[in-house]
Amino acid sequence: MGLSIYMVMKQSNRKYIKEAVGVPTDINVVAKKLYDKIIEKLKTVNVGSGDSFTITIPNKNNELSFSGLKPKKYIVDFELGSYEGDASDDKGKLEGGLIHGMGFKKDTKLNKDFILISKDGNDVNLEIDYAQPESDTEYTGQKIIDALKQRENPSISSIAHELKHAFDSFKKPTERIETRSNYSNYVSTRTGIKPMDKFIHSLYFTNKIENLVRPVEVYTEMVEDGIVKKEDFIKYLLQHKIYKTLKYLRDYSLENLKTELKSYEPQIDEYFIKNFDDTIEPTLNTLTPEKKVDLFLNHFVELLSNRILNMRKNMVEPDPFNRFMGIVGKKGTDYLEKNTSDLQSMVDNPMKFYNNSISNMNKTSNKLMKKLSKLYSLLIGDRTIKVETYDPINFELDQLVRHKRSPKSNIQTEFKWKKK
């Protein structure tokens, strides 16, 4: 009589799949834990009367560590603001408290080669921006909790988004001045004219710094929403705001931007009068809508390039007094002369800047859409291999029965896909 022992070996390739689609292992789990701890801290925090406050969350027993990132603590800065009572977004009029942004902060220093190097220690510094109607002047921890819970899954997803920025900084602690100055101005530069502001936001949205975090954001929200089936995943992805935004940007064109701007002719007139003086108004009255749009597009490029240049100047000048006075030393000047050709090219040929930017936007969006579609592989689960160890009682008995059965391998494989 033979003795059979069955062993089940789990060969998990989930970690490698996650890395391939840009999702560090357990980042979504840590995001949820951190969200819960933020809620608990807010229950007892004294917000006070200022416009900001900070909470600290220790990483006890590495419960908030993931993929090699092991901070000692998380520092979460809350920035408090307000909005006008008649404010609205794409879903309608805004009401009550809301979380309108999150961020990841890091301190850097400039080395002799003018490369930004992260000098953060063992902490991760996050920021959460909260706002409520300007008629409500009392800020409380409970109001912020209510705002977070009102959109719980997107809030957890946004935390995961910022954790991925922290992870990327941990994995690659260096950054070029050009990359950072461009990115920061894509985030901060606005004109008050919706189509142009949407365009500059799109440059931020498809910037390579943000490209690295989109899969994490969608995956975390997907998991929190309980998406586990293929048919549910496809439907979910096609309706997700990030995917829909990428689809819009994949098909975006300069003609789209110009057409949208034409319907904002009064706002463009107001923009020029505000940024120049009343003497420009007679000139504006002689221009066709098409000419005004072209003039506005050209002016915006000058505005953006100057803002980026000023940031680069501030970054390369070590002396704080010189920075205050707008002075750049010889080393910084030499560096800028060699590394501002991109800005000069923008000013020399604005339409080339728009065409190149939009072309890159199209390609990046298409690439990210394909990457997001691979997130389904993370729902499949672990690969299970069944291994059979066959132990005959002795050689003679094994020989006696072996000819009566077909040859059988001592190792069998069986693939089962377990859902997470």
pLDDT single digits (tens) 165-208: 999 999 999 999 999 999 999 999 999 999 999 999 999 999 98
Note the pLDDT tens digit of each residue in 223-271.
Answer: 888 877 777 888 899 999 999 999 999 999 999 999 999 999 999 999 9
Other Cβ atoms within 10 Å of 69 Cβ, number: 20
Domain co-membership, 216 together with 311? yes
23 found inside a domain: yes
- Give me the helix-helix angle, 254-262 and 289-316, nearest 10°: 110
Domain co-membership, 238 together with 358? yes
322 found inside a domain: yes
Please give the single-letter amino acid code of residue 227.
I
Per-residue pLDDT band at 321 (split at 50, 70, 90):
confident
At residue 318, the pLDDT reads: 78
Q: Which residue has the higher pLDDT, 134 or 397?
A: 134
Other Cβ atoms within 10 Å of 401 Cβ, number: 11
Q: Model pTM?
A: 0.79
Domain co-membership, 151 together with 203? no
Domain co-membership, 181 together with 262? yes
Report the C-alpha gap between 377 and 370 in whole angstroms: 13
Domain count across the chain: 2
Domain co-membership, 126 together with 179? no
Report the run of H or E that residue 5 belongs to, with start and end: strand 3-11
Domain co-membership, 303 together with 269? yes
Domain co-membership, 240 together with 332? yes
b/e burial code for range 240-262 (CB count within 10 A of at least 16 → b):
bebbebbeebbebeeeebbebbe
Domain co-membership, 116 together with 254? no
26 found inside a domain: yes
Report the C-alpha gap between 273 and 254 in whole angstroms: 25
Q: Which domain holds residue 321?
A: 174-379
Give the contacts of 260 (CB within 8 A, at least 6 positions apart): 194, 195, 198
Domain co-membership, 102 together with 247? no
In 3D space, the residue among 237, 250, 247, 239 whose CA is nearest the CA of residue 378 turns out to be: 237
